[in-house]
Amino acid sequence: MSSKTSSTPRTARGSDLQLVGRFIALNASKTVATILATSLVSSAAFSAPVDQTFTTTHAKEDNAQASANGFTHDQKLGGTTRNFWAHVRSDRNTYFQIPNKQGESKPTRLAATWVQGTILEYQSGFTQGAIGFATQAAVYNQIALERDHDQLAGGVNRTLVNSDGDAVGQWSKLGLGNIQARISNTTLTIGRQNIYTPVLEVNAVLSLPSSFEGISLHSEELSNLSFDLGTFDRISPYTQQSLRRFGTEYGNPQATTGHVNIAGMTYTPSQALKAEWFASRVEDIWTQHFLGINHALGDPDKLSMSSSFSYYRTREQGQARLGHIDNDTYSLGLSLQHQNHTLNVGWQQVGGNEPFDYLGETDAIHLANTLVTDFNGPNEKSLAFSYSVNMAPYGIPGLSLMAYTARGWGIDGTHYQGSGYDVRAMDGEKHTESGFIANYVIQSGPLRDTRFFFLYGTNRASENQADGTMTETRLVTTIPFDFL
């Protein structure tokens, strides 16, 4: 399902142009990234079964603030620099648009991205005492290495361009800037920050991440139960220098809000089981609830099984700027692992005449079949398979390979009665995404933890499926560095 932003490509049907193309907007999904991270673990670590022992909930004996060493003692200065290169070619009735100074555009089949994104981040330690204080600041910089006007195709939400569609050669911004106060194991953060929850989460898969302006509270006072609260009024997008109001990934871009409130808890009664509940109130747009359960069983050295269940319930809120919303979306994931081999199966179903939606320029979609496309069209059903292998036992530690395919069908927006989503032309639409991923992490030496990521992916879609028919080749190199 496609993002409805001005920087996305368009599908041409005669003289009609429809915005499409989340396929090219994001990196491999959280699902793909999790699979690869798991497969990169050394096979030696798979020798012990997952402990199923339940633990009781009690107050923590350790106190993080009591262990504080001072503002400068635990300070860190470092970051990453990421080279992001991608070529996307469209096919069938899918086109990108090349804008010009007259406000017009012409179709093209190619969208190219080549940028260098660098993050320089400082994190102080906490001051000593009953209440500790710390600060975090990060400067984000992007350099456009591909500046050809036609090949950029309007930037496609990856390269910052001006109103004429020309690349901004180099730009910087304050990506993070906050003050933290901590009592015991509870931390209050005020300012521009990173958040990682199923209803509001930093999107960190392109050259630079997004971030959020607001206040958050994270508490770990109990042994296996943590709590999160937050209120936010602005987002710092990954390809913009300024702050802006929150919008949604798929809805009418005019529907924005300046108030997003979140709350949630995470319960981990054993090493094998985790349950999450989170909720968000996006003022005058929706309320959204999330329930997630993850469980692991068995011995990975022989055979282990991991399962996951995710459920989102979304309803309109307040002035309902996207109209009526009545959406229940769930997914089931199953992973079987034998030593360095992992097979994954995912089932996902959208229950609603509108797409499953989430906040724009975030990664707040914790569903099994979130690949490069989201498989979140109205009433869409999807089934995904992937196979990954950790190559360490074959003499190449740090390398993992994965092949995947997913098919979505039954996309039907013909019964949609609202005004916030352009889905009424979707009648029995379907699409298939397939791809190959290679991920390599340098294991030692001065470039240790440098990561090389390669993706070749295709999406083959019916006429009115939102993402369109495209093929993408992508190479991403991420180099970490530390000064303190």
Q: How far is 354 from 421, CA to CA, in rounded Å?
A: 7
Would you say residue 334 has pLDDT above 80?
yes
Band the pLDDT of 430: cuts 50, 70, 90.
very high
Would you say residue 189 has pLDDT above 60?
yes
Residue 156 confidence (pLDDT) = 87
Residue 38 confidence (pLDDT) = 44
Mean pLDDT of 191-214: 96
Please state, for a pLDDT cut of 90, what percent of the chain lies above it: 83
Would you say residue 165 has pLDDT above 60?
yes
Q: How far is 445 from 274, CA to CA, in rounded Å?
A: 36
- Distant-in-sequence, close-in-space partners of 262: CB < 8 Å, separation ≥ 6: 195, 197, 199, 200, 228, 229, 230, 231, 232, 278, 279, 280, 281
Assign residue 415 a region: left if phi > 0, alpha if psi is -120 to 50, beta otherwise?
Answer: alpha
Residue 163 confidence (pLDDT) = 86
| Local structure of 263: helix, strand or coil | strand
Instruction: Please say whether the beta carbons of 398 and 440 come within 8 A.
Output: yes
Look over the chain and give the mean of its residue pLDDT values, rounded to a whole number. 90
**From residue 151, how far is each of 108, 146, 156, 264, 455 by CA, in Å?**
9, 8, 10, 43, 20
Would you say residue 333 has pLDDT above 70?
yes
427-441 and 94-99 strand pairing:
unpaired
Mean pLDDT of 264-273: 96
Closest CA to 314 of 275, 276, 277, 354: 354
Residue 93 confidence (pLDDT) = 87
Would you say residue 8 has pLDDT above 70?
no
Q: How far is 141 from 175, CA to CA, in rounded Å?
A: 9
Q: Hey, what are 292's tokens?
A: 């997630």
The region of weakest confidence among 36-45, 69-78, 268-277, 430-439 is 36-45
* HSE of 330, CA atoms in CB hemisphere, 13 A: 8
- Distant-in-sequence, close-in-space partners of 160: CB < 8 Å, separation ≥ 6: 142, 144, 167, 168, 171, 239, 240, 241
Band the pLDDT of 15: cuts 50, 70, 90.
very low
The amino acid occupying position 267 is Y
Would you say residue 361 has pLDDT above 80?
yes
Cβ neighbour number for residue 150 with a 10 Å cutoff: 13
Residue 13 confidence (pLDDT) = 27
* HSE of 435, CA atoms in CB hemisphere, 13 A: 25
**77 or 42: whose pLDDT is higher?**
77
Band the pLDDT of 50: cuts 50, 70, 90.
confident
Residue 423 confidence (pLDDT) = 96
Residue 20 confidence (pLDDT) = 36
State the DSSP string of 57-117.
Answer: --B-S--TGGG---TTTT-EEEEEEEEEEEEEEEETTEEEEEE-TTS-EEEESEEEEEEEE
Residue 257 confidence (pLDDT) = 97
Q: How far is 235 from 211, CA to CA, in rounded Å?
A: 6
Indicate yes or no: pTM above 0.75: yes
State the DSSP string of 426-439.
Answer: -EEEEEEEEEEEEE
Q: How far is 475 from 470, CA to CA, in rounded Å?
A: 17
Closest CA to 338 of 306, 303, 307: 303
Distance of CA 233 to the CA centre of its chain: 20
Domains and CATH numbers, the chain: 10-482 (2.40.160.10)
Indicate the burial class of 417 (C-beta count within 10 angstroms; 0-12, 13-18, 19 or more): exposed
* HSE of 241, CA atoms in CB hemisphere, 13 A: 12
The region of weakest confidence among 24-33, 47-56, 142-151, 451-460 is 24-33
Residue 100 confidence (pLDDT) = 80
The pLDDT tens digits of the residues spanning 297-317 come to 999 889 999 999 999 999 999
Residue 377 confidence (pLDDT) = 97
Cβ neighbour number for residue 8 with a 10 Å cutoff: 26
